[in-house]
């Protein structure tokens, strides 16, 4: 009888120990999975930052090369004009009015040199603003898959490409409920800079399409662009005077349409942050 009691007590302890260990094990597994999910998200954020930094470096290098060439040309003209003026004065073959004209030419070159420096500073400031905008957008979008949304800077213009599967059902121009998540995040960043003007472009693949009131892919792309514009205006309060809508249809693809992956890449809505040309032309007028 005592042996049975001892055996029963031992088995009970063993079962209790196994149960506690199993709970601890599951708890540790849950902690590991949470940490791993956070790690994957941080890796994605880091890649986005590195891509934006590389794009900025390429644009900066191109601008610096162009500015350097302008400076070399300017320096060459100054040297030639200075030498010509000195030679002519030494030979006493020019009139005072001609010498004054050459002097004014040199002064104009100096003014253009200052103008180049002002342009350089303006372009650097614009690059900085664009990079800040890109980083804010990437931070707001978060962990959405890269193939579904892409943000980049090309020749000083910021582009936001959103896959159609995030916004519309196939062949439809009605915004889906899940689209509000991504449009809301983009709208929050754009609204924080009220002077920004942008265009919403609809893009499709080249598969023939006609349905109801829609005549073709071009018609579908226009309706999708205006649908997004209405959401940004009516739900998120963006100024409609700063928004334009355009349909590009199938005529501006980013990939060949001969594969399913290529067609999927071409079915997208693009938000283009427009450069403020009025401010640029005003700068040109004041520096002439």
Tens of pLDDT along the chain (288 residues)?
Answer: 545 554 455 545 544 445 557 777 778 888 888 888 877 877 777 777 777 777 777 877 877 887 888 788 778 877 777 776 666 556 555 566 666 776 676 666 666 666 566 555 555 555 555 566 667 666 666 655 556 888 888 877 888 899 999 999 988 999 998 888 889 988 988 888 888 899 999 999 999 988 888 999 999 999 999 999 999 999 999 999 999 999 999 999 999 999 999 999 999 999 998 766 555 455 455 544
Domain range summary for the chain, segments of one domain joined by + = 25-134, 144-283
Q: Which alpha helices (H) appear in the chain, and where do they start and end?
A: 2-91, 96-141, 179-191, 217-234, 260-266, 277-287
User: Using an 8 Å Cβ cutoff, are 198 and 274 in contact?
Assistant: yes
Beta-carbon contacts of residue 165 (< 8 Å; ≥ 6 apart): 148, 264, 267
Residue-wise DSSP of 205-270: -SS---BTTB-SHHHHHHHHHHHHHHHHHHTT---GGGEEEEEEETSS-SS-TTSHHHHHHHSEEE
Q: What is the pLDDT of residue 143?
A: 55
Q: Could you say which architecture CATH assigns to the domain 144-283?
A: 2-Layer Sandwich (3.30)
């Amino acid at each position: 009888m005592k042996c049975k009691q001892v055996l029963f007590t031992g088995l009970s302890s063993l079962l209790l120990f196994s149960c506690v260990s199993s709970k601890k094990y599951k708890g540790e597994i849950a902690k590991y999975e949470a940490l791993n999910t956070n790690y994957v998200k941080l890796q994605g954020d880091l890649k986005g930052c590195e891509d934006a930094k590389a794009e900025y470096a390429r644009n900066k290098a191109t601008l610096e090369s162009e500015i350097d060439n302008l400076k070399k040309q300017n320096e060459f003209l100054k040297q030639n004009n200075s030498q010509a003026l000195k030679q002519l004065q030494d030979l006493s073959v020019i009139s005072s009015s001609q010498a004054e004209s050459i002097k004014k030419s040199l002064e104009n070159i100096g003014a253009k040199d200052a103008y180049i420096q002002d342009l350089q500073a303006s372009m650097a400031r614009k690059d900085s603003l664009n990079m800040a905008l890109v980083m804010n957008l990437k931070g707001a979008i978060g962990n959405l898959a890269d193939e579904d949304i892409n943000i980049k800077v090309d020749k000083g213009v910021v582009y936001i490409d959103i896959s159609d599967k995030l916004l519309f059902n196939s062949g439809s121009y009605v915004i889906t409920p899940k689209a509000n998540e991504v449009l809301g995040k983009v709208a929050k960043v754009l609204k924080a800079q009220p002077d920004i003007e942008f265009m919403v472009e609809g893009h499709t693949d080249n598969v023939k399409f006609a349905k109801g009131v829609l005549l073709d892919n071009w018609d579908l792309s226009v309706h999708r662009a205006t649908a997004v514009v209405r959401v940004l205006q009516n739900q998120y309060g963006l100024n409609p005077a700063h928004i334009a809508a355009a349909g590009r249809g199938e005529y501006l693809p980013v990939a060949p349409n001969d594969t399913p992956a290529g067609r999927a890449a071409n079915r997208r809505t693009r938000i283009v942050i427009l450069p403020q040309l009025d401010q640029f032309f005003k700068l040109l007028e004041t520096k002439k």
